[in-house]
């Protein structure tokens, strides 16, 4: 699936946490590290490409897998063990990541 400059996708299982403001970061590999603080992004489901929110990028922080901690897990609305498992499932070969902190702007109709 092609990423456009002002768009980011999430697995649909994360949609509710994003729109409720419970998930305030995403952890991505280098292929999605090009976003900039202040950038507004359209948020769509990975599976169906359905737009469900708009966010503003607050920060992008290079973070190795070994540095993921309880604060990251809290920002992802899961336990640290759950977070580590999810990251390993999505990026089985990666060890270097980027924590993208964001804020919800609005919920599209």
Instruction: Report CA dihedral (73, 82, 93, 72) to the nearest 10 degrees.
Output: 0
| Residues carrying an active site annotation | 23, 26, 76
pLDDT of 106 reads 74
pTM of the model: 0.91
Higher per-residue pLDDT: 96 or 1: 96
pLDDT attached to residue 4: 52
- Where on the phi/psi map is residue 49: left (φ > 0), alpha (ψ -120 to 50), or beta? left
Q: Which of the four pLDDT bands, split at 50, 70 and 90, describes residue 2?
A: very low
Helix (H) or strand (E) holding 86: helix 80-90
Cβ neighbours of residue 99 closer than 8 Å, sequence gap 6 or more: 25, 26, 27, 59, 60, 61, 63, 72
pLDDT in tens, 5-63: 799 999 999 999 999 999 999 999 999 999 999 999 999 999 999 999 999 999 999 99
Q: Look up residue 46 and give its two tokens.
A: 């990975």
Contacts with 87 (C-beta within 8 Å, 6 or more apart), sequence order: 27, 65, 68, 97
Query: Per residue in 88-106, pLDDT tens?
Result: 999 999 999 999 999 999 7
Q: What is the mean predicted confidence (pLDDT) over 55-77?
A: 98
């Amino acid at each position: 699936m092609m990423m456009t400059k002002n768009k980011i996708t999430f697995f649909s299982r994360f949609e509710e946490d994003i729109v409720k403001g419970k998930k305030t970061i995403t952890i991505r590999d280098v292929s999605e590290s090009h976003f900039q603080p202040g950038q507004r992004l359209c948020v769509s489901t990975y599976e169906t490409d359905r737009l469900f929110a708009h966010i503003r990028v607050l920060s992008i922080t290079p973070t190795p897998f070994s540095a993921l901690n309880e604060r990251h897990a809290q920002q992802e609305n899961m336990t640290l063990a759950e977070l580590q498992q999810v990251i390993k499932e999505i990026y089985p070969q990666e060890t270097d990541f980027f924590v993208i902190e964001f804020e919800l702007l609005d919920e599209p109709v």
